[in-house]
């Protein structure tokens, strides 16, 4: 087996922002469990005070379901609703954030304005999480981009992708839909890349036509101890 190619990542390399970038959502996710208990009402008050430009705030809840059985053959089903943090949104519906006991998920929706403004606003939420939740480690730091490229009638995804699923031998058929996912470990770096390509079928609304969806998620694979960093900005993407 031939050795893996040497990969070098240049952190100073600039990437231009396309004028009409097809990005429908950009996400930064810090998975970092809170170092103390977060109380719902106290956290709501803090977020309302610190983030007045995010007036839309909703509680997040999850449901836990369990079943038990007895020797006589009877059974019982239990369910419990658990508070899982808050979802915040600005009035323009450009930014959405989840502030939970297990971290921060920050999203920039379409139109995508560029990396600098996106990262700056995400770091704002991360800084507040550090102050209020006091995490000690980051289990996962990820950056994700989802793009939607409209396909014209009979246009094939091969116009945009170098590799697409092939039709069965002997059947000269166009590709109507597919779902393809690849996961890569980056040699020499603690990073993992998850890359999804799929076709979104045309909807009932003619404006919601057939489209190619690409979803790229780059994340860390190693636990990060916050105490090892004097400058917490080093933990930003």
Residue range 199-212: mean pLDDT, rounded? 77
- pLDDT tens-digit series, residues 13-27: 777 777 788 999 999
Among candidate residues 80, 145, 86, the one with its CA nearest the CA of residue 118: 145
- pLDDT tens-digit series, residues 113-132: 889 899 999 999 999 999 99
Domain range annotation of the chain: 23-63+81-235
pTM for the model: 0.83
- pLDDT tens-digit series, residues 56-65: 999 998 776 7
The mean pLDDT of the chain is: 85
pLDDT at 69 over 60: yes
Residue range 138-146: mean pLDDT, rounded? 95
């Amino acid at each position: 087996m031939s050795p893996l190619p040497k990969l070098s990542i240049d952190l100073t390399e600039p990437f231009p922002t396309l004028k009409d970038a097809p990005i429908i959502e950009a996400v930064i996710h810090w998975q970092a469990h809170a170092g103390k208990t977060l109380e719902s009402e106290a956290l709501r008050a803090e977020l309302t005070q610190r983030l007045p430009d995010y007036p839309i705030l909703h509680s997040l809840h999850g449901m836990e379901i369990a079943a038990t059985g007895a020797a006589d053959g009877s059974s019982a089903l239990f369910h419990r609703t658990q508070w899982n943090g808050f979802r915040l949104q600005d009035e323009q519906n450009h930014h959405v954030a989840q502030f939970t006991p297990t971290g921060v998920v920050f999203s920039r929706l379409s139109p995508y304005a560029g990396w600098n403004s996106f990262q700056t606003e995400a770091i704002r939420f991360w800084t507040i999480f550090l102050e209020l939740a006091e995490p000690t480690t980051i289990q996962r730091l990820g950056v994700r981009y989802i793009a939607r490229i409209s396909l014209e009638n009979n246009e094939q995804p091969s116009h945009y992708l170098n590799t697409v699923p092939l039709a069965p031998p002997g059947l000269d058929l166009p590709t109507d839909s597919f779902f393809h996912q690849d996961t890569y470990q980056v040699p020499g770096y603690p990073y993992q890349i998850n890359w999804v390509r799929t076709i979104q079928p045309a909807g009932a609304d003619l404006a919601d036509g057939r489209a190619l969806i690409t979803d790229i998620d780059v994340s860390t694979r190693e636990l990060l101890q916050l105490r090892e960093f004097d400058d917490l900005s080093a933990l930003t993407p």
